[in-house]
Every structure is written in structure tokens, then in C-alpha cells.
Amino acid sequence: MKNLVQRLWSSTALPQSLDFWLKQFKVNFQFDTPTVKVLDKAIIGDAVKLVLKPSKKCHAFLAGQHIRLKVFIDGIGHERCYSIANLPSSKGVIELYIKVQGLVSNAIRHQVSIGDVLDVSQPFGDNHSKRFDGFVAGGIGITALWPLFLSAKKDNPDLVLLYLTRLESNESGLPKDNKEYVLFNEIRQSRAFTEGKVKILDGRTTLTNANELLNHFGDTSRLLSCGSEGFNQQVNEVVKKSDKQIYVEFESFKTAEPANISEEYAEHQIILTKSNQTLTVTNQSTLLESLLEAGLKPQYGCKQGICHQCTCRVAPSSLLNDNNKSIQLCTTVPNQSLEIEL
């Protein structure tokens, strides 16, 4: 009898079992994983706005950081990375605007309800620690740059933010009110907008004319551009053609590409030069997955090739080619043995 009670107790009291039941009863706590509770959900144009209450396991976030959100589709957990669109506040909530465009965002739109508890990563991203003279946001990219701008302009009142979107102007040349655009009203009503430090411009015309885009910034500026890959490419083209000494960092949003897994199984040796370890990994998973499985703790964030946090230098002895001196662990499936500076 005592044994039976002990077995029953351990099968229900294990942290994993308790986590399962806590989630079923929508309790915002898991033993090993940070979680959030959905406090509010709204559809705004082609985006879903979620207001989330982090659990005590979540670290406080900084302006401009991101989190990965996990949703289950047919029993399989899928993670995606989203920018936190608000500034940290005493309420402690996180706001996300999620553009509905793929499997996971559609599941969030249709399956996630107010009161649900979802697994998340800890907040990540280090843009808050860099100094920029201006920001250029394309479409949903504004969610990453708006809190970063609000926070950075406290130290740099000359900071400029351009929000490029599809736009129609009213008779006085101001952008027409459009509740369908993410953060549009909040930005229009801000002091920074009235003072001309934030400009909402039509992306189609602004990106075809270097002067339209770059005249908002000084001759030597360091900018952060955030939008789709196509948007960032266009910004890059404009900057390359300009005479100004403008340096731009890019942050792109893209749907995660499935890793290029080979059909033919192979094993490779990975030498970690800094930690002096050698691992045998397969070509059936990404380097990040293999390293985590081996109990190592490499730095990573989005797991989607976006944030560059998992970028590692490849040691000169195993350079893949002259131009490829670093790799992203989360998107690299090894097809040869490598030495990584990790």
C-alpha cells in the first residue's frame, strides 16, 4: 500500500506532471519554463494584438527586446520570435503585435484565447545597448522600433524615427487615420510625432528616392532598419547609392525556413575551441539543437536566424570558404566537421 501511494505521488508530483496540470487549469506558472497568461486579444487589420502577463519565472524585459512564443499545433510545439511592442512598466505586461502570415500566426489568431497560458522564452536582444542616430521601420517592424525609440530618445532628443507604410494623406498632407495600422494611433498622438521626430511616410514613394529617405538624417549617421527582408534590401540599396556616410544595421522579420536536413544520415566532429571539447553531431539537426542536447549552453535568442545572438566564428582551420567566417548555430545543419570558436 505504501509503495502504491509512493508511486502515485511521484507520478503526479513530478514537476513535469504538475506543469501539465497547472497549464490545464490555466495557472500562470511552470517549474522549468517561463510562461505568460493572455490578458487580452484583439484583431487589428492583418495583425493580432496580445496583452500578456508574465509569470514570476520571466525576467524583466528591456525596451526593444523580443520573446519566443510557443503554440501547439496538432500536438507539436512551434516557436516563433516576436518583438515586445511596449516599454517596461509597473504593470509588468508585454504587448505583442503579430502579423498573421503563416502557420503559427494563424494558430495564434484562431486558437489562442484570453486566459490561456503559453510557454515563452526569456526576453532577449541587445539593441538597447547600442547607440543609433535614427530608426527606419517598415510595416510591422515598427513594433520593434517604437519602444526602442521612446527609450533612446531620453538620452538623444535629436533621434528620428521613420515609419514607412502604405499610406494615404488627407488634405493637409498628414497621414489619414487608419486604425488598421499597428501602433498608428499611439504614434499619431505622441509628443514625438507633434515635434516632428517621428514621421509616418508612404513606403512606396520614400523608398524609391534616396533624398526622401536620407534627408531626415545627418550626413554621418548610424541607423537601425527593421522590416521584412525585402524592405531592408531596399533601404540598403538606397544607402549604397548615397554620398552620405551612413551605416545601417538591419533586423529582418521572416518566416522560419525549415532547416535543410539531408536525407543521407552522416556524423561530423565539432571541435569547440574555447571550451576545449569535441562533440559528435549528426546532419539531422541544427548545430544549436545538437549543442543544447549535449547539455551545452550556447547563447541564442530567436532560433530563426533573425537575432544573430547565436552567431559564432568558425576557426580558421575549418573555414568553409574565404567569405564565410561565421555561422548561425540555429540555422546551420553541419555537412562537414568544423572547429567553432565557442
Q: To 10 degrees, the CA torsion angle through 274, 275, 281, 284? A: -70
Of 8, 35, 28, 30, nearest to 19 by C-alpha is 30
| One of 36, 66, 300, 314 touching ligand FES (CB under 6 A) | 300
Site string for ligand FES, 256-295 (x = CB under 6 A): ----------------------------------------
Cβ distance to ligand FES smaller for residue 84 or 246: 84
CB of 81 to ligand FES, least distance (A): 7
The distance of closest approach from Cβ of residue 91 to ligand FES in the complex, given in angstroms and rounded to an integer, is 28
Nearest to residue 103, comparing CAs of 72, 82, 144?
72
Q: Which long-range contacts (CB under 8 A, 24 or more apart) does 187-192 make?
A: 187/142, 187/146, 187/163, 192/149, 192/150, 192/153, 192/161
Q: b/e map of 105-144 (b: 16 or more CB within 10 Å)?
A: bebbeeebeeebbbbbbbbbbebeeeebbbbbbbbbbbbb
Q: Does 305 bind ligand FES (CB under 6 A)?
A: yes
Q: Candidates 144-152, 258-266, 297-305, 334-342 — which segment interacts with ligand FES by CB under 6 A?
A: 297-305
- Candidates 41-49, 146-154, 237-245, 300-308 — which segment interacts with ligand FES by CB under 6 A? 300-308
Residue with Cβ nearer ligand FES (53 or 313): 313
Comparison of 222 and 308: residue with beta carbon closer to ligand FES: 308
Residue 328 binds ligand FES (CB under 6 A): yes
Q: Which residues pair with 161 in a beta bridge?
A: 135, 198
CB-CB neighbours of 86 under 10 Å = 20
Q: How far is the CB of 291 from ligand FES (least distance, A)?
A: 12
By the criterion CB under 6 A, which residues form the site for ligand FES?
300-303, 305-310, 328, 330
